[in-house]
Amino acid sequence: MKIAIAGTGYVGLVTGVCLSEIGHDVTCMDTNQQRMDTLQKGIPPIYEPGLEELLRKNMAQGRLYFTVDPKQAYSNADMIMIAVGTPENEDGSADLTYVEQAAETIARHIQKDVVVVTKSTVPVGTNEKIKQMIERIKPANVHVEVASNPEFLREGSAIYDTFHGDRIVIGTENDKAAEVLEELYRPLGIPIVKTDIRSAEMIKYASNAFLATKISFINEIANICEKVGANIDDVAYGIGLDERIGLRFLQAGIGYGGSCFPKDTKALVQLAGNVQHQFELLEAVIKVNNYQQSLLVQKAKKFFGSLYGKRAALLGLSFKPNTDDVREAASLVIARQLLQEGASVIAYDPIAVPNARRLLGSMIDYTEQIETALVRADMAFIATEWDMIKTLPLQQYCDLMNNPVIFDGRNCYSLNEVQSYPITYISIGRKEIIQKESVDLNC
């Protein structure tokens, strides 16, 4: 099949690369010239495990192209996928500017019958608007079907998820469009849910809202565990073994970040509000998450009294491991709060430093060496559970820091392990380990 993709970010690029890998002829179109110049050289503009290899392979085999020219991308396509960003407006609703621009450009350049598929996360009713918009502009002799096909991949495992997802959701108005999409995805062997367009759009928001709810729920339980002397790791395991609850997505910490949960939860609250339904549960989920993201600095203030003049090592900048994405990352909240408290910050991340620098500028220092961040630090904040952070021997904190005080937002170390070192260790939903004389101790 000849497929064009509008928007070559995390979703568009990964989808394009994976569809070319299963034999389709894919042209990715983006309005960002610099991004496409980089891609034409075979260099991915984002970090995603396994992406570069598949990108180069399929470009070399002549199945994957990149262009900023909409005519080249859209005029001959059998299917066009919209994968542009849907960021949040100031009121939390989804900003559909890029989707509308993409739909308009598609309508102006199509020359043959085509199925337009929306992969971007869009509020219920958007695909109908896309259809109306395209119908208004397209050539009269061209027939267009519109389908909703929301994306469920996770950053950091996007290629794996595309080939091994739990389900593929296809929302259409008629069987013909559904059949084309089923044929596209059949080789992946992933269960397909066929439904109407509005339900498909809702499935995406409801999925993200439910996952975010699980995280805020376990974080609230963690906050109570701290007060009653229970251990959240054991509690999460104990409840998660009940198959109705499940073990996944019960990792307590400093809340969810990323380009999806924060904006999609707010967009669903807005969507509900538009039909006079106050989504109180989801409002609480968002409130808990905001609180959670600022929890570590609150804990540090409680421990030290004042953070003024202290040197902080911030370990991990990306919103989760294995990605360079820092959108809505808890690390950004922590960095800004530490600066407000008068501390200086040196941040470590193996790959997200350039993206973080774009947002935080020179307000903090950066390093790609974890040891450099820890040298002479008064306190270390673990914001992302990268492998190199999780497996850093505790002795290193002792050797490099002034006096090792760790605020662990991802519960990377077991309490038993920490107890054998003269380290003050304050994590989430677990007992605090305080070295009263840590100031005078040599590890």
Catalytic residue positions, numbered: 260
Annotated ligand binding at 300? The verdict is no
Is residue 320 annotated as involved in ligand binding? Answer: yes
Return the one option of ligand UPG, ligand NAD, none that residue 32 interacts with (CB less than 5 to 8 A, by type): ligand NAD
Instruction: Residue 234: name the closest of 387, 416, 442, 82 by CA.
Output: 416
**Residue 211 interaction partner, one of ligand UPG, ligand NAD, none, beta carbon < 5-8 Å per kind:** ligand UPG
Among 7, 9, 253, 422, binds ligand UPG (CB under 6 A): 253
- The entry of ligand NAD, ligand UPG, none near residue 394 (CB within 5 to 8 angstroms by kind) is none
User: CA-CA distance, 50 to 109, in Å (whole number)?
Assistant: 33
Shortest separation between residue 19's beta carbon and ligand NAD, angstroms: 15
- Angle made by CA atoms 208, 210, 216, in degrees to the nearest 5: 100
Contact 159/49 with Cβ under 8 angstroms? yes
Say which amino acid occupies 323: T
Chosen residue from 258, 316, 350, 429 binding ligand UPG by CB under 6 A: 258
> Considering beta carbons, is residue 79 or 332 the nearer one to ligand UPG?
332
DSSP assignment string, 255-268: ---SSSHHHHHHHH
Nearer to ligand UPG, 154 or 336 (CB): 154
| Least Cβ distance, residue 231 to ligand NAD (angstroms) | 32
What does the binding site for ligand NAD look like in residue numbers (CB under 6 A)? 6-12, 29-32, 35, 83-86, 98, 101-102, 105, 120-121, 151, 153, 155, 259-260
Which window, 26-34, 65-73, 149-157, 359-367, contacts ligand UPG (CB under 6 A)? 149-157
Smallest gap, in angstroms, from Cβ of residue 441 to ligand UPG?
32
Q: Which strands form 168-171's sheet, in the order they lie side by side?
A: 64-67, 25-29, 2-6, 79-82, 114-118, 144-148, 168-171, 192-195
Of ligand NAD, ligand UPG, none, which one does residue 98 interact with (CB within 5 to 8 Å by kind)? ligand NAD
Least distance from ligand NAD to the Cβ atom of residue 47, Å: 12
Residue 390 makes contact with ligand UPG by CB under 6 A: no
For 6, residues 6+ apart whose C-beta sits below 8 A from its C-beta are 12, 29, 30, 73, 80, 81, 82, 83, 84, 102, 105, 106
Q: Whose CA is closest to 9, among 353, 333, 323?
A: 323
The listed partner (ligand NAD, ligand UPG, none) that binds 382, CB under 5 to 8 Å by sort, is none
Q: CB-wise, 257 or 422, nearer to ligand UPG?
A: 257
353: number of Cβ within 10 Å: 18
Encode 207-230: b = buried (16+ Cβ within 10 Å), e = exposed: bbbebbbbbbbbbbbbbebbeeeb
Question: Residue 248, annotated ligand binder?
Answer: no
| DSSP conformational letter for 88 | B
Cβ-in-10-Å burial (0-12, 13-18, 19+) of 95 comes to: middle
The answer to whether 356 contacts ligand UPG (rule: CB under 6 A) is no
Which H/E stretch holds residue 30?
none
Return the number of the residue (83 or 394) whose C-beta is nearest ligand NAD. 83
320 binds, options ligand UPG, ligand NAD, none, Cβ within 5 to 8 A by partner type: ligand UPG
Nearer to ligand UPG, 138 or 299 (CB): 299
What H or E segment, with its residue span, contains residue 311? strand 311-315
Q: Report, in Å, the least distance between residue 354 CB and ligand NAD.
A: 15
The smaller minimum CB distance to ligand UPG, of residues 73 and 326, is found at 326
Beta bridge partners of 426: 407
| Strand, helix or coil for residue 364 | coil
- Half-sphere exposure (Cβ direction) of 429: Cα atoms closer than 13 Å: 27
> Which one among 47, 66, 217, 261 touches ligand UPG, defined by CB under 6 A?
261
Stretch that binds ligand UPG, among 125-133, 151-159, 223-231, 349-357 (CB under 6 A): 151-159
Cβ 258 to ligand UPG shortest distance, Å: 3
CA atoms of 347 and 365, how far apart (whole Å): 6
Note whether 289 and 215 are within 8 A (CB): yes
According to DSSP, residue 138 is labeled S
Residue 137, φ and ψ in degrees, nearest 5? -105, -30
> Shortest distance, CB of residue 282 to ligand NAD, whole angstroms?
17
Whether 250 has a binding-site annotation, put simply, is yes
Residue 163 binding ligand UPG, by CB under 6 A: no
In the window 111-130, what residues touch ligand UPG (CB under 6 A)? 121
| Residue 273 labelled as part of a binding site | no
Q: Using an 8 Å Cβ cutoff, are 32 and 139 in contact?
A: no
Binding site for substrate, by residue number, is 152-155, 204, 249-253, 257, 320
Binding site for NAD(+), by residue number, is 30, 35, 86, 121, 155, 263, 327
Sites of contact with ligand UPG (CB under 6 A):
121, 151-155, 208, 211, 215, 249-251, 253, 256-258, 260-261, 264, 319-320
